Structure 1
Amino acid sequence: MLILADHITQLPASPASLLEIDAIDVHYGAVQALFGVSLRVRPGEVVAVLGGNASGKSTTLKSVLGLVKPTRGRIALDGQAVHGKPPADIIDLGLASVPEGRRVFAEMSVQENLLMGAYPRRHEKEAIAADLALVFEAFPRLAERRRQAAGTLSGGEQQMLALGRAWLRRARMVCIDEPSMGLSPRYVDAVYEVLFRWKAEGQTILLVEQNARIALELADRAYVLQHGHVVLHGSAQQLAQDPGVQKAYLGAA
């Protein structure tokens, strides 16, 4: 069922939810960026947050990661409140982040960047070596450049590296911000090939994306934000067929 914003200011608590966001407001100084945003992510689910520029998508993700602090409302992981906690403490609960702009360690090599993702599980040497091989298999360009400084990679290669770093984290939930932004179609295909693989393996993903068409192909459910408000949410299939979503985000006449 598609649900309009007036009916979702408060979503019912669900013990099956890994992430629960309840009616959060976020301000940047005097400017309010989010207005009563609520959403849920269940284990093994891919949830997309869609919207145009300045819709509040990235602010929602940053709130989950503790990079911005809600002025009202609640964020919980496995029922444990995390709003107001430092980002490092939230990440330690089993999250990984693929941020907008990639944010690789420019002076470090590709392989060193990848191993930074595995640092929380650094004692699992055999498992890390196996996962590193999987990343290089999925992204042969990274394998070719494993000793190259990450700052010398192209934008598409750096996005692959950011995904690979999250892969090595083996997180309970991966938070991904605009993975297709600024990439050529070839690199978008390579990135989403890995995301579809993660979905098939049961990886929980919270995805912020302007490319609504490909995001709705990947996602199980999605939320649409406008000017900091959730205006619509439902299954990805339902949203893809909604005339308003088609007109606003999918290029339908």
Structure 2
Amino acid sequence: MPTLADTSPSPLLTIDGIDVHYGAVQALYGVSLVVHAGEVVSVLGGNASGKSTTLKSVLGLVTPTRGRIVLDGREIQGRAPADVIDLGVASVPEGRRVFPEMSVHENLLLGAYPRRKEKAAIAEDLNEVFTAFPRLAERRRQAAGTLSGGEQQMLALGRAWLRRGRLICIDEPSMGLSPIFVDAVYEVLFRWKAAGQTILLVEQNARIALELADNAYVLQHGHVVLQGTAAELIANPAVQKAYLGAS
């Protein structure tokens, strides 16, 4: 008789025991995590905890010195970022990284470039982005570099949505934003979750990240020190004290 493990679906993404070095400095030590299709997984931790390095490893921006990264059954560690994107991964990088001299509309179309032949679907997705972010609709012909930080974050999210990737990797979406923009960004992320979008989220704002997530991992000095469902971590006294402001 097959066991539950035999019949459960394989993860969309598996990070299996990766080490990452920057020269002589080791940033990750045997980090492992899994992301199933349709779920949101948050990676939490303070500065220099290794959470952004974990995301960069998935995106091909750094190469692990040990371990494997498997996307839908295919090993991707060490692949070029363009190859990872071609396999269906979209990215919302830390710091937004929009193209400042291009218009809002042009930045969004760059996200859709891998599916550029799907003109009708792209037009529909553009309307969806402009509905979700009315500020972008008002500024669609404006140079992206003239937008506020919050508006640029909206643009980065919209660009990733236009990619229609199987997995969206998001790095610190609340960093440097006012509470109003944080609420606007996470309102859209909650919509994506409800629509079944798979998300790997790196975030310092643990409270809102755990509200969004299904499962979460806590990194400290390059090690996974806690993992579990979001509900389990919210109830964990150590997490409450370190990340949720409990005394």
- Where on the TM-score scale, by shorter chain, does this alignment land: which range? over 0.9
Asked if 1:214 corresponds to 2:208, the answer is yes
CA distance in 1, matches of 2:99, 2:167: 22
SS in 2 for 1:111: helix
Asked if 1:136 corresponds to 2:125, the answer is no
Report the RMSD for the aligned CA atoms in angstroms. Answer: 1.0
SS in 2 for 1:160: helix
Q: Which residue of 2 aligns with 1:228?
A: 222
Question: Offset of 1:36 from its aligned partner?
Answer: 0.2
Question: Offset of 1:15 from its aligned partner?
Answer: 5.0
Q: Which residue of 2 aligns with 1:6?
A: none
Letter matched to residue 200 of structure 2: L
Q: Which residue of 2 aligns with 1:54?
A: 48
Letter matched to residue 220 of structure 2: Q
SS in 1 for 2:218: strand
Asked if 1:202 corresponds to 2:196, the answer is yes
Letter matched to residue 151 of structure 1: G
Letter matched to residue 128 of structure 1: I
CA distance in 1, matches of 2:9, 2:63: 24
CA distance in 2, matches of 1:124, 1:75: 30
CA distance in 1, matches of 2:78, 2:198: 23
Letter matched to residue 185 of structure 1: P
Q: Which residue of 2 aligns with 1:99?
A: 93
SS in 2 for 1:20: strand
Q: Which residue of 2 aligns with 1:3?
A: none
Q: Which residue of 2 aligns with 1:191?
A: 185
SS in 2 for 1:148: coil
CA displacement 1:17-36 (0-9 Å, x = unmatched): 00000000000000000000
Question: Offset of 1:175 from its aligned partner?
Answer: 0.1
CA distance in 2, matches of 1:116, 1:159: 15
CA distance in 2, matches of 1:170, 1:83: 22
CA distance in 1, matches of 2:214, 2:131: 27
CA distance in 2, matches of 1:94, 1:41: 14
Asked if 1:73 corresponds to 2:84, the answer is no
- Picking from 92, 103, 111, the partner of 2:105 is 111
% same residue: 81
Asked if 1:34 corresponds to 2:13, the answer is no
CA distance in 1, matches of 2:86, 2:9: 21
Question: Offset of 1:63 from its aligned partner?
Answer: 0.2
Letter matched to residue 106 of structure 1: P
CA distance in 2, matches of 1:130, 1:78: 27
CA distance in 2, matches of 1:126, 1:84: 35
The question of whether the paired residues in 2 share the 8 Å contact of 1:49 and 1:223 is answered with yes
CA distance in 2, matches of 1:130, 1:84: 34
Which 5+ residue runs of structure 2 have no aligned equivalent? 1-5
SS in 1 for 2:140: coil
The question of whether the paired residues in 2 share the 8 Å contact of 1:51 and 1:209 is answered with yes
Task: Calculate the TM-score normalised by the size of structure 2.
Answer: 0.96
CA displacement 1:170-217 (0-9 Å, x = unmatched): 110000000000000000000000000000000000000000000000
Letter matched to residue 222 of structure 1: A
CA displacement 1:108-134 (0-9 Å, x = unmatched): 000000010011111111111111011
CA distance in 1, matches of 2:32, 2:9: 16
Question: Offset of 1:98 from its aligned partner?
Answer: 0.0
Which 5+ residue runs of structure 1 have no aligned equivalent? 1-11
Q: Which residue of 2 aligns with 1:244?
A: 238
Q: Which residue of 2 aligns with 1:148?
A: 142
